Amino acid sequence: MLIAENLLWLLILIGVMILVHELGHFWAARYFDVKVEVFSFGFGPRLFGFRRGETDYRFSAILFGGYVKMAGEQPGDEGLDDPRGFLAKPRWQRLIIAGAGPFMNIVLAVALLTGLFMVKYQRVVEPSVRGLVGHVAANSPADRAGIREGDRIVRLAGKENPSWEDIILTEVAGASVPLEVAIERDGRRIETTVTPVLEERSGVGSAGWAERGEVQLGSLSANMPAEKSGLKPGDLVRRVNGQPIGSAIKFHELIRGSKGRAVEIEVEREGRRIDFTVQPVWAKLDGPERWMIGAIVAQKLKIETTRLPFFEAVEQSVEHNIRGATLIAQFLKGIVERRMS
């Protein structure tokens, strides 16, 4: 039911995007006095509609998207000699009419996010020190490049003082691309190169590093070791078998690496430190069988919720859209170059 509902909303969204796209062509054509014969909501045979002036505004059988039919739009069309036909207009006007559709899609994207951010805008409060590495997976690209837990990434692919969001976006789109990295360790600056590899499960680039931060327990599976031992959602994981925990990835690696042996987990709850002994079990919940305790863990994020004034909302909307478009372009480039799948 949920899948069907999501699919319905996706189709509605795509339909609106197509309709707005065609409105761009329509308004530009009208502005340059091009004769618009049909503006259709949907495709296929005409169901109903009305005529205003020279344009037939109609609803068609397949109510998905729409189209605009202009006089003299294609060679061989009737009205090709009409001075108000599309091909009779100067090239620069035709270019504007053709580009008005994509332009309206950009306007729609910016407008939607602007409205959303004026109602509710959430931002992750960044740590006082950016780019701290909380874990490096063994034999990962980061590990082979000499990066260690506790290092601070101070430059990545030419960007100085990157946020962890910047690091992730560069990493996931950078499979097989050598990335120049500068880290800070014990007051020294070290230059190295990391080449993310394509991760089969996610289909994106992975360097094998993770941000340092507090790790918090989320939901616990019923009748699984985490719940039975007394752990609770919201507990902050401080240590596993005496090792400090600065990332969810490190937590999972220690549990899986236990090979079924009991693990000592130290958590912080309401300001108190509490120790638990938890016996992992060989089970399958959300993937392949592995040693697990039945707990979802994640980086604890401090979220700030506010409402943005109009101009700031526009600025953030433009920034988010540019970032998203850039990431999509990087993914497509990676697919073409067979670095991603």
Q: How high is the pLDDT of residue 335? A: 63
- CA angle 121-125-129, nearest 5°? 155
Q: Between 264 and 327, name the one with better pLDDT.
A: 264
Report the chain's terminal Cα–Cα distance, integer Å. 29
CB of 294 closer than 8 Å to CB of 227: yes
| Band of residue 341 on the pLDDT scale cut at 50, 70, 90 | very low
Active site residue 22: yes
Rounded to an integer, what distance in angstroms lies between the CA atom of residue 219 and that of residue 255?
Answer: 17
3-state SS assignment for residue 193: strand
The band of 129, judged by pLDDT with boundaries at 50, 70 and 90, is confident
User: pLDDT tens, 74-101?
Assistant: 766 665 677 888 888 899 999 999 999 9
The 10s digit of each residue's pLDDT in 96-120 is: 999 999 999 999 999 999 999 999 9
Q: Is the pLDDT of residue 53 over 50?
A: yes
Cα–Cα distance, 77 to 3 (Å, whole number): 43
Exposed/middle/buried for residue 272 (C-beta within 10 Å: 0-12, 13-18, 19+): exposed
Question: Which amino acid is residue 324, in one-letter code?
Answer: G
Q: Rounded to the nearest 5°, which phi and psi values hold at 151?
A: -65, 155
Instruction: Supply the Cα-derived Rg of the chain in whole angstroms.
Output: 28
Element (H, E) at 67: strand 55-70
> Is the pLDDT confidence value at 27 over 90?
yes
Closest listed residue to residue 130, CA positions, set 190, 211, 216, 194? 211
What pLDDT score does 82 carry?
77
Q: Out of 5, 22, 160, 214, which one is annotated catalytic? A: 22
Which tens digit of pLDDT belongs to each residue from 179-212? 999 999 998 999 999 999 887 766 778 888 988 8
Residue 235 has a CB neighbour count (10 Å cut-off) of 24
- Which contacts qualify for 47-56: CB closer than 8 Å, 24 or more apart? none
pTM: 0.64
For residue 203, give Cα distances in angstroms to 93, 126, 175, 334. 42, 27, 9, 11
158 contacts 180 by C-beta, under 8 angstroms: yes
Domains of the chain: 2-102 (no CATH), 133-211 (2.30.42.10), 215-299 (2.30.42.10)
The model's pLDDT over 223-278, given as tens digits with 9 standing for 90+, comes to: 999 999 999 999 999 999 999 998 888 898 899 888 889 999 999 999 899 999 99
Element (H or E) spanning 327, and its range?
helix 310-336
The per-residue pLDDT of the chain, averaged, comes to 86
pLDDT for 338 beyond 60: no
Host H or E run for residue 291: strand 290-292
